[in-house]
Amino acid sequence: MSDPRSTDFGFEQVPWGDKARRVRGVFDSVAGNYDLMNDLMSGGAHRLWKRFTLSLTNLRPGQQALDVAGGTGDLSAGLAKQVGERGLVVLTDINAAMLARGRDRLTDDGLTGNIRYVQANAERLPFAPNSFDCITIAFGLRNVTDKPAALASMRHALKPGGQLLVLEFSHPVAPGLKPLYDAYSFHVLPLLGKFVARDEASYRYLAESIRMHPDQEKLLSLMQDAGLEGCAYHNLTGGIVALHRGYKY
């Protein structure tokens, strides 16, 4: 019997089982322009948000890290430097096109010995319990249909004492920012998508999916409900982005 639930795909309600296929369509379509568009859309700010995330990993040489929904591998590259030659980074993504771009990019950058690539759904990660010292997911959770399942799956794969870092678009809190941000997201982003990436619909999905994603406090509760402890978050760029962290004890 088909699943009677529905879920959001941007502002549209779609059958629960259809979201992953629709999200795959978006990332198949944007994979080729993904890095260029990230720089253009954020004015390079995504590099600072990722650098801040990497500054909180507490990883030491020889440790193991997992980058979920890692796409073209920005965080994985930084994690690989932190764990060094004796450590290991696993870059996972559900989308073969994004994963291939990540593998090619990191290989071209000479990052080879300590990175593995695994195509996997964040909701059902194929790793033994207690495998990783740190798990990151950047701009990925918003696209996942069953967020509680993904958070539980990531917690399961963490070692006791390990931490999960979730970098994601969130809800602006700085006074006066919201109207400007809305105008940018709903008018400028789709135009950038149309003229640079020749794909207006995917960039409209981006703006809509950000609005539908749980806000800072709601995501904090979801992390606590998944059994993560010591959960807290930092607002970045006035809350346009938030970095949530939680531990497994």
Min CB(201)–ligand SAM separation in Å: 15
Cβ pair 82, 59 in contact under 8 A = yes
DSSP label at residue 70:
-
CB-wise, 62 or 151, nearer to ligand SAM?
151
Min CB(7)–ligand SAM separation in Å: 12
- Number of residue whose CB is nearest ligand SAM: 71
- By CB under 6 A, residue 10 contacts ligand SAM: no
Cβ pair 203, 197 in contact under 8 A = yes
CB-wise, 115 or 144, nearer to ligand SAM?
144
DSSP H stretches of helix in the chain:
19-30, 34-42, 45-55, 74-83, 96-108, 147-157, 177-183, 189-195, 200-212, 216-225
- Using the contact rule CB under 6 A, the part of the chain among 5-13, 108-116, 133-141, 177-185 near ligand SAM is 133-141
Min CB(12)–ligand SAM separation in Å: 16
List the one residue out of 67, 54, 57, 56 whose CA is nearest residue 127. Answer: 67
First-to-last alpha carbon distance for the chain, in angstroms, is: 38
- By CB under 6 A, residue 219 contacts ligand SAM: no
> How many residues form the binding site for ligand SAM (CB under 6 A)?
20
The whole-angstrom separation of Cα 11 and Cα 107 is 37
Min CB(175)–ligand SAM separation in Å: 28
The whole-angstrom separation of Cα 150 and Cα 146 is 6
Amino acid 200 reads E
> In the window 33-92, what residues touch ligand SAM (CB under 6 A)?
69-72, 74
The whole-angstrom separation of Cα 206 and Cα 93 is 18
Rg (CA), the chain: 17
Q: Which of 59, 65, 144, 226 binds ligand SAM (CB under 6 A)?
A: 144
One symbol per residue from 89 to 128: x for binding ligand SAM (CB under 6 A), - otherwise; what is it?
Answer: ----xxx--x----------------------xxx-----
CB-wise, 89 or 122, nearer to ligand SAM?
122
Contact positions toward ligand SAM, by CB under 6 A? 20, 23, 27, 69-72, 74, 93-95, 98, 121-123, 138-140, 143-144
